[in-house]
Structure 1
Amino acid sequence: MKIAIGSDHAGYLYKQAILQHLQAAGHEVEDFGTHSTDPVDYPKFIRPVAEAVAAGKFERGIVLGGSGNGEAITANRVRGIRCGLCWNLESARLTRLHNDANVLSLGERMMDLPTALQIVDTFLTTPFEGGRHLARIQQLDE
């Protein structure tokens, strides 16, 4: 799967670990930055991830920050993006199953790394259920 990934400084360490995890699993991943823990403004790194996913250049996106809230808000400002802020496996499963989320937002300060990696795997492997959820998603773009 082609995946775009980006973070601010507060999500940088998990971004690096997730990037390696995804590459080891055979995914094609492009890192949109940031490239250190030096303080940055998150929209500069998150919006390009969302725009690349919305343009169809990537199948999914993953964005990270301290809490993941600002990153989810930024990504969801891009038309065609459905970014879910996830904090456990069930939230990751449901954001795909019911919302067909195409971008995942994680907060590095909100969970340990093994949990974050499990959330990423759940997000990438859970299919969209469709059915009654499809009409609701179509309403988002009306």
Structure 2
Amino acid sequence: MSNQVDINYLDRCVELAAEALESGNPPFGSVLVDANDNVRYEGHNLTAGGDSTQHPEFAIARWAATNMTPEERAESTVYTSGEHCPMCAAAHGWVGLGRIVYASSSEQLSTWLDDMGVAQPPVATLPINSVVPNVTVEGPFPEQAEAIQLLQKQYHAGR
């Protein structure tokens, strides 16, 4: 069940997405929070250098696999500006991370791209639970999704 704490972390994800945009990357940002409400990792999209796997959710999965016990991973929450793509959802599932809370959905992003006349990504946009059926997922959140939509418009207008 989402609460103000979740909203605050989603707001941080929006800030990280804005940082990604400022650095020339697509606007995606994510935060990993442990069961004790400690931020363990945060990052944003780094794909502008040409490696399209440099998503923050994928980085979180790699970092968590190395730095957290399986129990800590299962009790953690990943907050993210956009619903995980299939690659990131699979990484999340393979390392056994816990709940996912996202600001905007893959379905919203797909609609926004169509509305802007932008090509869809090369990988299908699927709901997280289509890839990782047993993870708890919450989202989207209208206020944060609206902010992400604006960042997406700015990113694609500048391309």
Shorter-chain TM range is 0.3 to 0.5
TM-score for the superposition, normalised by structure 1: 0.34
